[in-house]
């Protein structure tokens, strides 16, 4: 019996996850297929139910379903519960458990690939969706001194902040005049984009999440958008003299942890990263 895995989201056409996950499954010698499952909100419940079948190992979950999927599961692990978002579902004999590997994937990429230690840092996170929730939780746990969450709908940022411990987080609107935003962002060390601005095949393709003129050379800028490899934000940040890190390393690292949860075997990380890099779409 060929086992099934997939990526649940809307959109998913841009994702290289099926490529590098399939490379890992093949390297492990497993009879399994990993596919992209385009899933609008109305189809989410049915898609999750299908994961209870014996041939399903589980799934990854991406935008916009990382929060909406949680009540459809039988259990959620502690970290995912604190973060308020799930990006990995594991099927164990028809019982579905949710995990969040974005937390570990982001922190590992930040430290190992970006050379940035978040302990004591002042951080601005753009966006308030499922990925932002995981990243804010991870930064707080890693000892960041302050995390400012900016979102166009400030109520969503406030809801995210209210779920975080220790009073280290604050919310603000990702809108208004440049001067107000500049004052909010002046003291930061790290900027993390968790919006879909710049993502291929998304409504914000080719766009910046904030004006380029606000970027400061002292910042370390991370864009968790993995495709394209060089997003408009990363390009603008490099032009302004910032150190940067793209989303591919986080994507592969969180995917490697997901694979270990599904299979119980060590992930072939080098094979996964190589496959992801070869699959990337690079604009001319």
Tokens representing 118 are 């978040």
Active-site residue, selected from the candidate residues 66, 119, 168, 183:
66
Q: Which of 114, 83, 108 is nearest to 257 (CA)?
A: 108
Q: What DSSP letter does each residue of 42-95 carry, written as one string?
A: GGHHHHHHHTTSTTEEEEEE-TT-TTTTGGGSSEE-HHHHHHT---EEEEETTE
| Catalytic residue check, 119 | no
**Rounded Cα gap, residues 206 and 274, in angstroms:** 25
Residue 118 three-state SS: coil
Start-to-end Cα distance in the chain: 42
Helix 248-263 to helix 17-27 angle, to the nearest 10 degrees? 40
- For 153, list phi and psi in degrees, rounded to 5: -95, 100
> Are 217 and 241 spatial neighbours (Cβ–Cβ below 8 Å)?
yes
Catalytic residue set: 66
């Amino acid at each position: 019996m060929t086992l099934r895995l997939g990526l649940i989201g809307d959109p998913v056409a841009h994702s290289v996850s099926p490529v590098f996950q399939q490379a890992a499954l093949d390297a492990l010698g497993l009879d399994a297929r990993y596919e992209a499952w385009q899933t609008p909100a109305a189809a989410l419940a049915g898609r999750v139910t299908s994961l209870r079948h014996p041939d399903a190992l589980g799934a990854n979950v991406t935008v916009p379903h990382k929060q909406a999927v949680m009540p459809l599961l039988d259990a959620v692990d502690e970290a995912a519960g604190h973060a308020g978002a799930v990006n990995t579902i594991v099927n164990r004999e028809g019982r579905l458990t949710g995990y969040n590997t974005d937390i570990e994937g982001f922190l590992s990429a930040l430290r190992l690939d970006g050379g940035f230690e978040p302990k004591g840092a002042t951080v601005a996170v753009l966006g308030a969706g499922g990925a932002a929730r995981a990243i804010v939780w991870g930064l707080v746990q890693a000892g960041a001194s302050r995390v400012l969450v900016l979102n166009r709908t400030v109520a969503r940022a406030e809801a995210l902040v209210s779920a975080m411990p220790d009073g280290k987080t604050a919310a603000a609107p990702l809108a208004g005049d440049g001067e107000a935003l500049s004052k909010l962002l002046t003291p930061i060390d790290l900027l993390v984009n968790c919006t879909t601005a710049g993502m291929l095949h998304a409504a914000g393709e080719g766009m910046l999440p904030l004006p380029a003129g606000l970027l400061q050379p002292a910042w370390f800028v991370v864009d968790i958008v993995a495709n394209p490899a060089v997003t408009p934000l990363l390009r603008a940040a490099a032009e302004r003299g910032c150190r940067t890190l793209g989303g591919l390393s986080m994507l592969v690292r969180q995917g490697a942890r997901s694979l270990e949860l599904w299979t119980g075997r060590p992930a072939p990380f080098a094979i996964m990263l190589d496959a992801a890099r070869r699959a990337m779409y690079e604009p001319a």
